Structure 1
Amino acid sequence: MKVYKDEVYVTVPQVVSRGCLPLSTKSSPQSSGKSALLQPFPSWENHTIGDCKAFQFVQAIEIEPSRGLMFVVDTGRSGVFDSVKKNSCPAKIVIIDIDKKTELGRYTFPEEVASQTENYLNDIVLDYFDNQSAYAYITDTGKPGIVVFDLKGNTSYRFEDAKTMSSEADKPSSLTGYLWAQIYPSTGYAMSADFRYAYFSAVTGTSLYQVPTSALRDPKTNITTVIRKVGDKPSQSDGLIYAQKNLYFGGLNDRSLYRWEVSKDVKSAGSEGNVALVTTSAILKNVSELTWGGYFCH
């Protein structure tokens, strides 16, 4: 979910072929004559399954507000939770001018960066240079890793580190009393307010890691030497978001919303490069509306 001007943009990943919402013109609300809370963007035609020019499976989007640009990450696959997956198209990233609803550019990831049969490009953050987006960092949950897209160079590469980007099998997630047996590696991604550090974690695990963006900008970086664990979250989480001073994340096991007061811990550590996750608190606790399970349709 992202906000631009007075509009909220929401992704509806088709993780199962019987998806909760239709993704074809035949089933569109417009064709039935009824209004709908969610309207297709940019159009229904842009979401035609089997057409590699269209979006196949979109979960990650990010917006550059100053220029009104939306970065849309498409895994190229649909029904990723089905026994037989539809690996129809290669993964891609598409840049859209939101105001004009026009495509400004697209980039197709090569197989060695995002596997057409294994990738699950999950979350995206933008790194800025001269007040404009210069790099996009994307977590790959299907084949654990971090995918980097260099906008100016129009190229991409990936980093892998089994120790920090894989799931912690000894810390399964519990959803409202039910043990979640699936094992999910790196998913959530957040960018510090000054764009100097990125943070990531796995759904199945409590460890929160930090990596300097200066390292991510260099494809030759030995990533295992620069990733640093900052601490353990009080609960497993999925998405992360970094505001000006705090980092927020959900609590999957206790249906909560947590806040890490990064700026407070930075003062104690002396710098963000040495910060440790200490000052966390639950803003909301045990709220049924925060149950993590949106992938399941009823």
Structure 2
Amino acid sequence: MTVSMSTCKILLIALLGNRLVDSAIVYKWHAVDYEWPNSSVKQEFIKNGSFIITNNLISGIKIYNESVYVTVPRWRKGVPSTLNVVVEKDGEAILRPFPSWSMQTVGDCSAIQYSQSLEIDPSTGWMWIIDTGLHSIADPGQYVCPPKLVIYDINTDKVIRVHHFPEVVAPKMLTFLNDIVVHKISGKPAYAYITDAGTARLVVYDFLKDKSYTFAHKSMAAESGPPSMVDFDHTQFKTDIPIDGIALSPDTRYLYYCSLASMKLYRVPTSVLAQENEDISRSVKNLGSKVSQTGGMISGNKSLFYGALGLNAVYKWDFTKDIAMAASVDDVTLTTQTVVAKDDLNMQWVDSFAFDTNGYLWFTVNKLASFLQNTMDFNATAPFNMFIWKIYVDEKSYL
């Protein structure tokens, strides 16, 4: 297995006043490996099928205190650790299970079974981990533990809270908790919003009440026809994934979301989401169409950044500029969309985003369509499959 750390810096056009900005591939892999307790443990995992190297693909990313945390979803069997921190050992970048190997044990419901996404509050070090409870999807889907939200304090190495989602919120064999944002009020956690790509619903977690509930709306469904066809590597990849990407406006007034099988971007007021039984149908607004389908997205303090999957690029919606041109913040539409970075070879399927505290946007790239279609080549002589990029955008996290 070859793991390579990119040492070269490259310049890409980022439309921050039409100037060149610093951009780099920080890590790139043909295949990922882990920091094992010893070689015997690794060989035993390989022997019993607990580590199948071609079933491990990096997806989610968050940054805290210069550490890079990533998820390896258990889409398939053979993923030894679903939540990790990137470390360097003998000149190579590998994954250290986080917070420990024991917390990755399949079948132990006190451990993390399946992590797709997470969020980290930069002011507290609280990590909000979605555990959809799913062992594997493709081989086939198997729920071994109930879905839960784990709030973990990185600084004290302690679990703050575990919320088990009730069946009515996250039904077994149906739910797929995908992405998360955290809403703070007066500097303290109040709500978490989570997309459920399995039931095409939005899950709301009320931190103060330790309670969860859901909202459903037609805007959260997948579309058919052209919006469901993603141009990928000179072919078309069909998807029927509904609500997926999610972001919170920096003033916390609005929640943005989109389906993977759709070009449209929607928003709903967070004031409405705070009312458990509220009818949101009159509050949802279609902001317009993005330039391409999107998986992950993230809000900075001035712009909404998203992966343009069909264009091998990262784009941003400058909502600060569009708000200034609109009659009011309530009338803003998705108008000013500009390319931040584009690379047809090394940005195939921009997946997940994060900010650091220095103005850099980080994101993962993983050729997910190739992985799901079983066409990914993990050999060291093939092109790289997974990347972690960072690019200077002069913005910081909504948190």
- SS of the residue corresponding to residue 58 of structure 1 reads coil
Give CA-to-partner distance per residue, 1:32-70, whole Å, 9 cap, x none: x99852211100111111111111110121111222111
Task: Determine the structure 2 residue equivalent to 1:152.
Answer: 208
CA contact (8 A) 1:141 1:186 kept: yes
* 1:248 maps to which of 305, 323, 336: 305
**Paired letter, 1:166:** A
- Can you list the C-alpha shifts for 1:249-289, whole angstroms capped at 9, x where unaligned? 11111101101110111011133222100110112234321
How many residues in Structure 1 have an aligned counterpart in Structure 2? 288
Q: 2:130 matched to 1:66?
A: no
Task: Indicate the RMSD between aligned Cα atoms, in angstroms.
Answer: 2.0
Structure 1 stretches of 4+ with a deviation exceeding 6 A read none
Alpha-carbon separation, structure 1, partners of 2:156 and 2:270: 31
- Residue 16 (1) aligns with residue 76 (2): yes
Aligned partner of residue 102 in structure 2, secondary structure: helix
Q: Structure 1 stretches of 5 or more lacking a match? A: 25-32
For 1:200-242, what per-residue CA distance to the aligned partner results, in whole angstroms no more than 9, with x for missing partners? 0011110000110101111121022211000000100111111
Tell me, which stretches of 5 or more residues in structure 2 are unaligned?
1-60, 83-89, 350-366, 379-399
The one-character-per-residue Cα deviations of 1:96-128 (angstroms, maximum 9, x if unpaired) are: 010122111101000110112111111001111
Matched, 1:140 2:208: no
Q: Report the counterpart of residue 204 of structure 1 in structure 2.
A: 261
Rounded Cα–Cα distance in structure 2 between residues aligned with 1:138 and 1:266: 26
- CA–CA distance in 1 between the matches of 2:164 and 2:91? 36
Preserved contact between residue 89 and residue 116 of structure 1 (Cα < 8 Å)? no
Distance 2:162 2:330 in 1: 34
Decide which structure has greater strand share. Answer: 2
SS at match of 1:253: helix
Separation in 1 of the partners of 2:92 and 2:231? 37
Percent identity, please. Answer: 37
Please tell me whether the aligned partners of residues 247 and 262 of structure 1 are also in contact (alpha carbons under 8 angstroms): yes
After TM superposition, list the pairs within 5 Å mapping 1:1-298 onto structure 2: 1-19=61-79, 22-23=80-81, 37-82=94-139, 84-161=140-217, 163-170=218-225, 171=227, 172-292=229-349, 293-294=367-368, 296=371, 298=378
Separation in 1, partners of 2:91, 2:146: 34
DSSP 3-state at the match of 1:225 = coil
Q: Which of the pair has more CA radius of gyration? A: 2
**Alpha-carbon distance in 2 for matches of 1:276, 1:129:** 26
CA deviation after TM superposition for structure 1 residue 175, in Å:
1.6
1:15 is paired with a residue whose SS is coil
User: Is the CA contact (8 Å cut-off) linking 1:176 and 1:254 kept in structure 2?
Assistant: no
Would the aligned equivalents of 1:138 and 1:146 in 2 still touch at CA under 8 Å? Answer: yes
* Native 8 Å contact 1:176 1:291 kept in 2: yes
Structure-1-length-normalised TM-score: 0.92
**Which amino acid in the other structure matches residue 81 of structure 2?**
L
Which amino acid in the other structure matches residue 130 of structure 1? Answer: S
Contact 1:64–1:133, Cα closer than 8 Å, also in 2: no
Change in 2 beyond 3 A, CA 1:243/1:34: closer
**Relative to structure 1, is the Cα distance of residues 34 and 89 closer, same or farther in structure 2, using a 3 angstrom cutoff?**
farther
Structure with higher RCO (Cα < 8 A, 6+ apart): 2
Contact 2:72 2:81 in 1 (8 A): no
TM-score of the two chains, using structure 2 as the length reference = 0.69
Shift of 1:129: 1.1
